[in-house]
Amino acid sequence: MWTAIALHTTPGAPEFIEPEVALVTAGVDYDVLGIGHHDVDEADRAAIVAAHPRPRFKQRILEAFTDGMRSRPEGTFGTVNADVLAHYVPGFERGDFVDTILDSPWAE
């Protein structure tokens, strides 16, 4: 499960690991991002939502991401979480991978 959670946001990797990892990724992609939304029949989607309502899901998940990372913004470097803080935390400055390499103390 740890691997599935750790890699579910790494495009191209989960489908080459255990099937459970790919399944977690597919579930998150469908539930959070809507990838494959139209591959599921409308009646089936309605039944799923009836059993598992999504009140304000988009806003609530973004609030949860923001609340979970607000106090440790450095942990968002190189992740989609930097996008969340950039939208919702005034003054947040995302790290830049190129600058990190160029600012490395190593000589050429």
Same domain, 65 and 31: no
Same domain, 3 and 20: yes
Same domain, 65 and 102: yes
Same domain, 41 and 64: no
Backbone angles phi, psi at 92, to 5 degrees: -65, 135
- What is the count of structural domains for the chain? 2
Domain extent for 3? 1-54
> How do residues 5-21 score in pLDDT, each as one tens digit?
888 888 888 888 889 99
Give the count of alpha carbons within 13 A of 32, CB side only. 14
Same domain, 3 and 48: yes
> How do residues 36-79 score in pLDDT, each as one tens digit?
999 999 999 999 999 999 999 999 999 999 999 999 999 999 88
